[in-house]
Structure 1
Amino acid sequence: MKNLTDHLSQYASYHRDTRNVVSHFLGIPMIVFAVAVLLSLPGGFVGGFWLSPATFVVLASTVFYLRLDVAFGVLMAVLLGLCLWGGALLAQQPILVWLSAGLGLFIVGWAIQFVGHYYEGRKPAFIDDISGLIIGPLFVVAELAFLLGMRKDLQHAIEQRVGATRKRDMKATI
Structure 2
Amino acid sequence: MKTLTEQLAQYAAYHRDRRNIATHFVGIPMIVLALAVLLSRPASTWGVLPVALSPAWLLFGTASVYYLALDAALGLAMVVFSAICLAFGWWAASLSTLTWLGIGVGLFVIGWAFQFVGHAAYEHRKPAFADDVIGLVIGPLFVLAEALFELGWRPALRDAIEAKCGASGANERH
TM over 0.5: yes
Q: Give the number of equivalent residue pairs.
A: 170
Between the aligned partners of 1:33 and 1:43, the Cα distance in structure 2 is 17
Between the aligned partners of 2:167 and 2:60, the Cα distance in structure 1 is 31
1:30 aligns to what SS in structure 2?
A: helix
Matches within 5 A, 1:122-141: 122-141=125-144
- The answer to whether the aligner puts 1:18 opposite 2:18 as a matched pair is yes
One-letter code aligned to 1:101:
I
- The answer to whether the aligner puts 1:111 opposite 2:109 as a matched pair is no
Matches within 5 A, 1:20-59: 20-44=20-44, 47-59=49-61
- The match for 1:165 is 168
- Residue 48 of structure 1, CA deviation: 4.5
One-letter code aligned to 1:26:
V
1:50 aligns to what SS in structure 2?
A: coil
Residues 30 and 105 in structure 1, CA contact (< 8 A), matched pair in contact too:
yes
- Which consecutive unaligned segments of at least 5 residues does structure 1 have? none
- Which consecutive unaligned segments of at least 5 residues does structure 2 have? none
- The match for 2:93 is 91
Between the aligned partners of 2:27 and 2:115, the Cα distance in structure 1 is 6
- Residue 28 of structure 1, CA deviation: 0.1
Residues 50 and 88 in structure 1, CA contact (< 8 A), matched pair in contact too:
no
Between the aligned partners of 1:140 and 1:166, the Cα distance in structure 2 is 15
Matches within 5 A, 1:72-91: 72-91=74-93
Q: Kindly report the root-mean-square deviation, in angstroms, between the aligned alpha carbons of the 2 structures.
A: 1.4
- TM-score (norm. length: structure 1): 0.94
121-130 vs 49-58, greater mean Cα deviation: 49-58
Between the aligned partners of 2:30 and 2:51, the Cα distance in structure 1 is 23
Structure 1 ranges of 4+ moved more than 2 A: 44-50
- Residue 51 of structure 1, CA deviation: 1.1
- The match for 1:151 is 154
